[in-house]
Amino acid sequence: MKYALVTGGSRGIGRAICISIGELGYHILINYRSNEEEAVKTLEMLQEKGGTGELMRFDVSKREEVESALGRWMEDHKGECIEVLVNNAGIRKDTMMMWMKNEEWSEVMDTNLNGFFYITRRLLQDMLINKYGRIINVVSLSGIKGLPGQVNYSAAKAAVIGATKALAQEVGRKNVTVNAVAPGFIRTDMTKELKENELKTLIPLYRFGEPEEVADVVAFLASKKASYITGEVISINGGLYT
């Protein structure tokens, strides 16, 4: 069996990615932090499309939890390898920097940046040994352009973009590719309180995107067809910023 791990797979963009990568024939490890009900819904939606998967609960921001969950999986699946990793789990805690609390900085860093590090480091070794791997990081327009009120989030996503480019150069020889996708405004829980009617006037395609529109690009990057693409950041933002 071929395995793919999608972090933050219980809702939004992560859910759509679980389904799109499931269609490539991977058995999906659906990670989530706390929302079991939604994670089960993702699994059911994946199965309805003919895919297979299982839930894998851990908090990406907690190193011990990541290592014990992935360590357990590896112990139970000796000789098998997770060959696709999508680092999608993310949070934002927006406020102007002068009012930003320590926790608002560190929680955003721990989830969006440190989570990427803990998980990728753990899975990389097997990908290198097997001489095959696909790593896709879900970053953001904020990490490219920087957005006011999101100094913490922009910094974390920009850091993951830098890490994507550096890691791609480290592991390319072993046939492991590392890319990022940078969504603009996508219709999920994360953006549900934003005023789409006002914000869409800034977007050339004049609407927010759908999670599936991100997931299709991620599935392409996860596929064999993307074999000569690495170190790239692909914007999916309706033309909002290029």
Contacts to ligand NAP by CB under 6 A? 7-8, 10-14, 31-35, 38, 59-61, 88-91, 111, 138, 140, 183, 185-186, 188-191
Nearer to ligand NAP, 124 or 214 (CB): 214
- For helices 36-48 and 12-22, the axis angle rounded to 10 degrees is 30
- Is 153 known to be catalytic? yes
Question: 129 and 174 in contact (C-beta within 8 Å)?
Answer: no
Tokens of 26: 């991977």
CA of residue 21 relative to chain centroid, distance? 12
Nearer to ligand NAP, 113 or 132 (CB): 113
End-to-end, the C-alpha distance of the chain in Å comes to 39
Give the nearest distance from C-beta 66 to ligand NAP in angstroms: 9
Nearer to ligand NAP, 132 or 184 (CB): 184
Question: Which of 3, 32, 153, 206 is flagged as catalytic?
Answer: 153
Give the nearest distance from C-beta 116 to ligand NAP in angstroms: 10
- The DSSP secondary-structure symbol of 27 reads E
- Give every strand in the sheet of 27-32, ordered side by side: 52-57, 27-32, 3-6, 82-87, 133-138, 176-183, 233-236
- The DSSP secondary-structure symbol of 186 reads B
Give the nearest distance from C-beta 147 to ligand NAP in angstroms: 10
CA–CA dist 142, 91 (Å, integer): 13
Nearer to ligand NAP, 37 or 173 (CB): 37
Phi and psi angles of residue 101, each rounded to the nearest 5 degrees, phi first:
-85, 160
Other beta carbons within 10 angstroms of residue 203's beta carbon come to 18
Give the nearest distance from C-beta 134 to ligand NAP in angstroms: 17
Positions marked catalytic: 153
